Structure 1
Amino acid sequence: MSLTFTLDPAVTPDLRDGVLDLWADVTNAGGAVGFVPPVTRDAIRPELVRHLAAMAEGRMRLLTGHDAQGRVAATAFFGFNTHRLMTHWVWLYTVMVHPGHQGKGYGRDLLAAAEESARTFDGIEAVHLTCRSGLGLERFYGSCGYKEVGRVPGALRVAPGDDRDDVSMLLTLT
């Protein structure tokens, strides 16, 4: 069974809690979503609040994937550029699929839904994301149509002595 995707879902306590649970579960399973394990919902909450505030201000949009039980099982946040020379592309942040659903093609489904959503945004010609090296994410995003367009060696320190490259990937929509 596949996920049901919704762009701009109503921000309810259930959605907020579902995203917090997803973010913590993905991080604690070793996912590269801005934190390193172990992490708690309380540590993630301030970042989610920033995302929700940006959504309320129209600077960010949320795509969610719900499983058959109605739980938040996947997310991707779109961040809109405010610089006048960069308004033709969006950022894709916090791309996550719950560890219990990985290996089912849901990551590919999430990225296809994100591409489909981005194509509905006025004037958007590309989607840009960054990922952490060392996890095979470049290959995965590449298999979904993204091209590596830049790399900053050692930009991400996930632990003492464990620096990773910050890899920029781009999906052209036009």
Structure 2
Amino acid sequence: MALDFTLDPPVDPVLRDGVLGLWTDVTNADGAVGFVPPVSADEVRPELVRHLVAMAEGRARLLVGRDTDGEVAAAAFLTHNTHRLMRHWIWLYTVMVHPRHQGKGYGRDLLAAAADAARGMGGVTAIRLTCRGGAGLERFYASCGYKEVGRVPEAIRVADGDYRDDITMLLPLL
């Protein structure tokens, strides 16, 4: 079964809690989405609130994929670039598929839906994202059409003595 994707869904407590649960579960399954496991929803909540504020201010958009039960199963944030010379590309942040749905092709579906959303934003010619090295994420993104365009060695510290590369990927939309 495919996920049902919605760009800019109305934010209500059910959606907010669904994204919060997704983010917490993805992190605790060792997903590279801004935290290091273990985390609680209380630790993730302030970051989610920052994303929701950016949405309310028109600086970010939310793409949500729901499963057949209507539960939040995947999500990503699309963020406008505010620099006047770089408004032709957007950032894709916090790309998540719930661990119970991984391996079903939903990550590819999420990235395709994000590309479709970006194409509909007017004047957007590319998507940039960053990913944490050491987990093979760059291979997954490359298999979805993204190209590695930059790498900062050991820029991410996940634990004492455990440093990972910060990898920048680009998807041209033209």
Does 1:47 pair with 2:81?
no
Which residue of 2 is the match for residue 160 of structure 1? Answer: 160
Q: CA deviation at 1:64?
A: 0.2
Q: CA deviation at 1:122?
A: 1.0
Code of the aligned partner of 1:104: K
Q: Give the gaps of 5 or more residues in structure 2.
A: none
Q: Deviations over 1:19-50 (max 9, x none)?
A: 00000000000000000000011101110011
Give, in whole Å, the separation in 1 of the partners of 2:86 and 2:158: 29
Q: What pairs with 1:7-156 in structure 2 (closer than 5 Å)?
A: 7-156=7-156
Two-structure CA RMSD over aligned residues (Å): 0.4
SS at match of 1:54: helix
SS at match of 1:138: helix
Code of the aligned partner of 2:100: G
SS at match of 2:121: coil
Code of the aligned partner of 2:40: T
TM-score (norm 2): 0.99
Where has structure 1 moved over 6 Å in runs of 4 or more? none
Q: Deviations over 1:117-169 (max 9, x none)?
A: 11101110100000000111000000000000000000000010100000000
Q: How many residues align?
A: 174
Give, in whole Å, the separation in 1 of the partners of 2:78 and 2:38: 26
Give, in whole Å, the separation in 2 of the partners of 1:134 and 1:81: 27
Q: Give the gaps of 5 or more residues in structure 1.
A: none
Which residue of 2 is the match for residue 172 of structure 1? Answer: 172
TM-score (norm 1): 0.99
Give, in whole Å, the separation in 1 of the partners of 2:2 and 2:161: 39
